[in-house]
Amino acid sequence: MLRLHPTSTPAIPRTGWWETLQQTLQFRYKTLELITRVNARHGPVVRQHTPVVPLVSLFGPDANRFVLLDQEQILSAKGAWDIIMGRIFTNGLLLRDGDNHRQHRRIMQVAFHHTALREYVDRMNPLIATAISGWDDRGEPFRAFPAFKRLTLDLACQIFLGIELGAGADRLNHAFERTVAASMSVIRLPIPGLEFDRGLRGRGFMIDLFSAMLPGKRAGAGADMLSRLCHATGDQGEHYGDQEIVDHMIFLMMAAHDTTTSTLSSLLYELARHPEWQTRMRDECAGAGGAADYEALGRLTGLGWVVNETLRRHPPLSTIPRLATRAFDFGGYRVPEGVMVAIYPLHTHHMREWWSDPYRFDPERFAPGRAEHERHPYAFIPFGGGAHMCIGYRFAELQIKAILHQLVRRYRWSIPAGYVMPEQQAPIAKPRDGLPLTLERLA
């Protein structure tokens, strides 16, 4: 008998076809349940069938560290994300590897420097105040998710693009929704009417929109992110070409818009379920004034715990994939070249080995006296880690805190008795019903 690996490495445990079918059909809505079951049945290294490429799932903080640090340079983010969304979010920062990724990240860093972040917060605060002022006067049930989508899109247009879209916001919103949905499409053909074709059309709309802005941005000296990218240079004087800027902006706008909307929706749901924490945040934010600046937001420690606990329970990105560029050993198994390798922040964030009562909303687990997130450096990874750690995570945190700071000072909110949020957990976490809330304006 021919032995492919004479070291007698055992075969990786495999899921059955029925489990694979369940995951294919239900992964968007039962992500945590499905991957927890796979881990419990088969262990920390599991091979699974998928419609596109063989998948090996790795579970736990050690697996997260191995994949995200990728010290041997054998796991390609570009290879994985190209398969998933390469035709939709072409050449975004996440879809690059090695020196090319490092070069583009260095150039982009200017748009996320603390000086730029401070300016973004100052510009966001009055926009947030105006947007949320009439949320309780709509004459209809308030749904948090679409309200946040409109708010974060308006903020992204102002902060990232330096424009007000007005009536055009709905079309851009639809374009983002279609591109994100297309990243999970099973049928990836440009057939009119199908999900993937709608995603391609959404990308085309954004290419036209952003490309038309570039001449004016290059000629001006604006403080918005698009202007900063137009003028950004690297250590050797390198700069972005027009198509590179457009590709980066499509990806950054999606990431800032959709992931922030996801977290804010989950955050309001948890604070509605736990009104004692809503009151506690209101009391803390009262001491920071009407609109907290960059420094003041950093001093709101309790608010930081609440945001982190929401990101633990409901990470916007449940799964992080890579493509194995060569075979490697992990956990006593030989993982072959060419397979998709996935880790799961959502699963790690609910492992009882690392988190006490992990399905309970408990922000104080992030307080200095407990610091459960420090039990392992890769047990809490809502923004990934390593070279591909989200470049905009500080911007996302600041935007979420700035919005929540103003919300708790203006409103008290609640959910219907017995309500449980129906959650889509992939590709980006969100409430499937829009999250109905009752808003009560504070005196």
Domain ranges, residue 313: 17-441
Asked if residues 363 and 277 have their Cβ atoms less than 8 Å apart, the reply is yes
For the segment 213-228, the average pLDDT, to the nearest whole number, is 92
Strands 423-424 and 430-431, bridge-based pairing:
antiparallel
**Does residue 6 lie within any of the structural domains?**
no
The number of distinct structural domains making up the chain is 1
* Separation of alpha carbons 263 and 252, rounded Å: 16
The answer to whether the beta carbons of residues 124 and 414 sit under 8 Å apart is no
Is residue 12 domain-resident?
A: no
Residue 5: what pLDDT? 47
**pLDDT at residue number 138:** 66
Quote the tokens at residue 77: 């983010």
31-45: average pLDDT: 94
Tell me: pLDDT of 6 over 70: no
Encode pLDDT of 186-201 as tens digits.
778 888 888 889 989 9
| Contact call for residues 95 and 86 (beta carbons, < 8 A) | yes
Does 21 have pLDDT greater than 80? Answer: no
Counting residues of the chain whose pLDDT is more than 90, the rounded percentage is: 69
**Helix-helix angle 275-286:393-410, to 10 degrees:** 100
Structural domain includes residue 130 = yes
pLDDT digits (tens, 9 = 90+) for 286-325: 987 777 999 999 999 999 999 999 999 999 999 999 999 9
Distance CA 160, CA 229 (A): 10
Query: Taking residues 335-347, what's their average pLDDT?
Result: 97
Q: Which two tokens stand for residue 94?
A: 């996440």
pLDDT at 442: 92
Q: Is the pLDDT of residue 219 over 60?
A: yes
| Mean pLDDT, rounded, for 424-439 | 91
DSSP 154: H
Band (pLDDT 50/70/90 cuts) for residue 242 is very high
Average pLDDT of every residue of the chain: 90
Question: What's the pTM value of the predicted model, to 2 decimals?
Answer: 0.91
Residue 10, in any domain of the structure: no
pLDDT at 3: 40
Return the higher-pLDDT residue of 409 and 50.
Answer: 409
**Does 4 fall in a domain?**
no
Q: CA-CA distance, 134 to 140, in Å (whole number)? A: 12
- Cβ contact 280:249 at 8 Å: no
Question: Is the per-residue pLDDT at 127 higher than 70?
Answer: yes
Instruction: Indicate if the pLDDT at residue 168 is higher than 70.
Output: no
- CA 189-26-396 angle, to 5 degrees, is 80
- Give the model confidence (pLDDT) of 264-290 as tens digits: 999 999 999 999 999 999 999 998 777
Among 138-152, 169-183, 217-231, top mean pLDDT goes to: 217-231
Residue 283 inside a domain? The answer is yes
- Report the CATH number at residue 114: 1.10.630.10
Q: Is residue 312 part of a domain?
A: yes
**Predicted pLDDT of residue 243:** 94
Q: Is residue 3 part of a domain?
A: no
Mean pLDDT of 111-133: 93
* pLDDT-above-70 percentage for the chain: 96
pLDDT-derived band at 261, boundaries 50, 70, 90: very high
**253-257, 261-265, 270-274, 348-352: segment of lowest average pLDDT:** 253-257
Q: What is the pLDDT confidence band of residue 8, given thresholds at 50, 70 and 90? A: low
